[in-house]
Amino acid sequence: MTTKPARGGLRALNSTGWRPNYKPAPRLIARAIKEAVDPVSFYTSEIPSMPAPKRRAGWIDGGLCPFHTDSHTGNFRIHAAAGSFYCFACEARGPDIIAFTMARDGLSFREAVETLAASWGVR
What number does CATH give the domain 26-120? 3.90.580.10
Residue 4 has pLDDT above 70, yes or no: no
Residue 70 has pLDDT above 80, yes or no: no
Across the chain, mean pLDDT equals 81
Residue 123 has pLDDT above 70, yes or no: yes
pLDDT of residue 117: 92
The per-residue pLDDT for range 71-109, each reduced to its tens digit, is 776 788 999 888 999 998 899 999 999 999 999 999 999
Q: What is the DSSP string of 62-99?
A: --S-TTS---STT-EEEETTT--EEETTT--EESSHHH
pLDDT of residue 53: 73
Helix (H) or strand (E) holding 60: strand 59-61
Residue 9 has pLDDT above 50, yes or no: no
In the chain, how long is the greatest CA-to-CA distance? Answer: 63
